[in-house]
Structure 1
Amino acid sequence: MVIWLVGMSGVGKTTIADILFKKISKETDSNALPIDGDIVRLIDGNNKKDTSYSLKSRYKNAKRIQEICLALDQSGEDVICSILCIFPDILKDNKKIFSNYYEVYLDASLEELERRDTKGLYESARKGLISDLVGYDIEFPIPKEPNIHLKTDQNKTAKELASIIYNEIFDDLNLGNKDTDLKSSLSKATNTTDYAAIVSKLIKPAGG
């Protein structure tokens, strides 16, 4: 199963994914591996692949994330993927290739995203210091048919939003990955580098 969280920078993808990951790990037998652009860029950056933020690089990175999610899905792992995906064809393909696919569109106004701006990206774009920022130089196509559409700029906390996603998806599923060694490794992971190392080991056989 793949839960695919999609939305613009600052919308809360990573925060909500982290809460959802911990909730799934605590309340189910699923390992629910976290995957995001930073983890994949770290994996592929170590292999000296293209990790820039041009439109071409973004597409390659999105396809790489899709490839990793598919390898994990085919090996029986559940995945929580958070990604700024701006390519409708990838979202369309996701619905065909994954065993169970849940697309979650996290939405907020540009004004709210600019107000949050935890990484300073929107301010830098306004000042002309950076380019290739989705929402400024690059358009963000709104996902057409997400399974779940949540506004993150209203009166709900990230924890509440994660609970909505969990209840929508897991109430009707009987999921369980009994790999206790993997679950133990995930419980000890504390940062992106730790998760990247775990995922690298899992996808190595599939990727050659």
Structure 2
Amino acid sequence: MSKPHNITWHDSSITKEDRRKQNNHSSFVLWFTGLSGSGKSTIANALSKELYERSIRNYVLDGDNIRNGLNRDLSFSDNDRTENIRRISEVSKLFVDNGTVVLTAFISPFLQDRQKAKEIVSEEEFFEIFVSCPIEECEKRDPKGLYSKARKGEIPDFTGIDSPYEEPVSPDITIHTDEQSVMESVETIINHLKNRKLI
């Protein structure tokens, strides 16, 4: 998509560093990716609560919620999935500029789209979290009944069934939700952020 003509970027009078100083913490994106039912939203929300209790300003951007509003005009075709991720990457960047930690919970199935998201946000402020869970376990959980519908052909282009999921090659953090509890997963992420001196 080409950049529109006659558009000029206006710098804010308050910088990202000013906002970080006011908040007393850094700002960055924690990008949760994984199959439907792997536990992305559950872990992101549990982590959000933990960060909140540590006085770290944060916000969860959830795939279903975003598609109810900002991206309600998009389908689940490959092109629209790409546009879905592009839009949320730009929104995430705004949160980071505001000095906020943003947690995104999106299947985001394509390597190229996640790489583009990292480029939009900036590599040093983007941390990919692979929520790994065998599809058999995801289907067993099937909290929204989506796999069952996909198997019946009622949901086309469903990731893991008739649309591919490309696993991260070198994620910053990998969580195995078939082996780790929600709180163990949160602790893994917290420890990583501490080690990186981000919190």
TM class by smaller structure: 0.7 to 0.9
* Structure 2 residue 43 is the aligned partner of structure 1 residue 16: yes
- Which residue in 1 is equivalent to 2:18? none
The letter for the 2-side match of 1:18 is N
Q: How high is the TM-score relative to the length of structure 1?
A: 0.76
What SS does the corresponding residue of 1:80 show, helix, strand or coil?
A: strand
CA distance in structure 1 between the aligned counterparts of 2:118 and 2:154, rounded to whole angstroms: 37
* Greater share of helix: 1
Change (3 A) 1:52 1:94: closer
CA distance in structure 1 between the aligned counterparts of 2:150 and 2:44, rounded to whole angstroms: 26
Change (3 A) 1:174 1:130: closer
CA distance in structure 1 between the aligned counterparts of 2:128 and 2:70, rounded to whole angstroms: 24
Q: How high is the TM-score relative to the length of structure 2?
A: 0.79
- Mark the runs of 5 or more structure 2 residues left unpaired by the alignment: 1-27
- Which residue in 1 is equivalent to 2:12? none
* Structure 2 residue 175 is the aligned partner of structure 1 residue 150: yes
The letter for the 2-side match of 1:37 is G
- Which residue in 2 is equivalent to 1:57? 80
* Structure 2 residue 34 is the aligned partner of structure 1 residue 7: yes
* Structure 2 residue 33 is the aligned partner of structure 1 residue 33: no
Greater relative contact order (CA < 8 Å, ≥ 6 in sequence): 1
- Mark the runs of 5 or more structure 1 residues left unpaired by the alignment: 176-208
What SS does the corresponding residue of 2:57 show, helix, strand or coil?
A: coil
Does structure 2 conserve the Cα–Cα contact (< 8 Å) formed by 1:37 and 1:65? Answer: no
What SS does the corresponding residue of 1:79 show, helix, strand or coil?
A: strand
Matches within 5 A, 1:91-170: 91-96=114-119, 97-98=121-122, 99-154=124-179, 156-170=180-194
What SS does the corresponding residue of 1:130 show, helix, strand or coil?
A: coil
- Which residue in 2 is equivalent to 1:42? 68
